Amino acid sequence: MTPDDAVRMALCTQMGREFAAHFQYLAMSAWLEDEGLPELSGFFGRQAAEEHGHAMKIFRYVLDTGGPVAIPGQDAPVASFESVEALVAAALAQEEQVTRWIDELVHLAREHRDPATEAFLQWYVTEQVEEVATMTELLQVVRRAGESLLFVEDYVVRRHPAGGEA
């Protein structure tokens, strides 16, 4: 069973967006490392790896359902931020946008009577609830901490440890 061309192309577009998120989170991780915030840097590095995994999951699905895969090019990520708060706010906005895109994909699959793709996308629907909640909470913590970013570093160690779930 092959998703029709419209659904397949939309999946490939989303795969590209997931790769773009991977690179954006890497850029955020690098900026945070330069700012002397190794725990936040590690958190965003783990987020980057997670986004790469999301892209590869779509890559595999498109191949498994008959392909072909078209990998879209990406713009360079934003590499500099005015503050940690601005960085985390950008990450939250990115996750909110991804949620809207996933919702559109679910509706497209439903419209094209593609139950396999709709079922496949349910994992992403659930994942986006978690991603938005995580970034919302992190932004709240950053705002509460103000200039005391060591409190944010401590929060990341406790709430999102390197060996645990991000």
Q: How confident is the model at residue 163 (pLDDT cuts 50, 70, 90)?
A: confident
Within a domain: 95: yes
Give the number of other Cβ atoms within 10 Å of residue 40's Cβ.
26
For the chain, the domain total comes to 1
Q: How confident is the model at residue 159 (pLDDT cuts 50, 70, 90)?
A: confident
CA distances from 138 to 23, 36, 57, 143 (A): 20, 18, 26, 9
**According to the model, what pLDDT value does residue 143 have?**
95
CATH number, domain of 134, equals 1.20.1260.10
99 closest CA partner among 17, 23, 22, 8: 17
Q: How confident is the model at residue 3 (pLDDT cuts 50, 70, 90)?
A: low
Q: What is the pLDDT of residues 115-156, one digit of tens each?
A: 999 999 999 999 999 999 999 999 999 999 988 888 888 889
| Domain extent at residue 107 | 5-159
Within a domain: 40: yes
d(CA 40, CA 48): 12
Q: What is the pLDDT of residues 67-110, one digit of tens each?
A: 899 999 989 999 999 999 999 999 999 999 999 999 999 999 99
Q: Check: pTM over 0.85? Answer yes or no.
A: yes
Residue 70: which residues within 8 A CB-CB, separation 6 or more? 9, 12
Q: What is the pLDDT of residues 22-74, one digit of tens each?
A: 999 999 999 999 999 999 999 999 999 999 999 999 999 999 999 899 999 98
Q: How confident is the model at residue 2 (pLDDT cuts 50, 70, 90)?
A: low
Within a domain: 113: yes
Within a domain: 164: no
